[in-house]
Amino acid sequence: MKLITAHKILISTAVVFFLFFTLWEFRNYSNSGEAWAALRAVLYALTSIGFAVYLKNLKRWYK
């Protein structure tokens, strides 16, 4: 296995991880109405999007 393959697997896992946390925090927000849970959900969603964009553009840098 090449190092770039392992890197792609780890970044993909991070995307799924942060998507899960986004849904978890939105559920916490809907149950409690806590504003900090909504803020965390938005931050987790932005982090997941950032990792997804990085993963999509990764093949431009390493061929």
| Distance between CA atoms of residues 18 and 48, nearest Å | 5
Q: Which residues have C-beta within 8 Å of that of residue 1, sequence separation ≥ 6?
A: none
Residue 1 has pLDDT above 80, yes or no: no
Instruction: Fill in the DSSP letter of residue 2.
Output: -
Q: pLDDT tens across 35-59, in order?
A: 999 999 999 999 999 999 999 998 7
Write phi, then psi, for 12 (nearest 5 degrees): -60, -40
| Spans of all domains in the chain | 3-61
Q: What confidence tier does 11 reach under pLDDT thresholds 50, 70, 90? A: very high
Residue at 15: amino acid letter: V
- Nearest-CA neighbor of 7 among 47, 50, 55? 55
Q: pLDDT tens across 14-29, in order?
A: 999 999 999 999 999 9
| pTM of the entire predicted model | 0.86
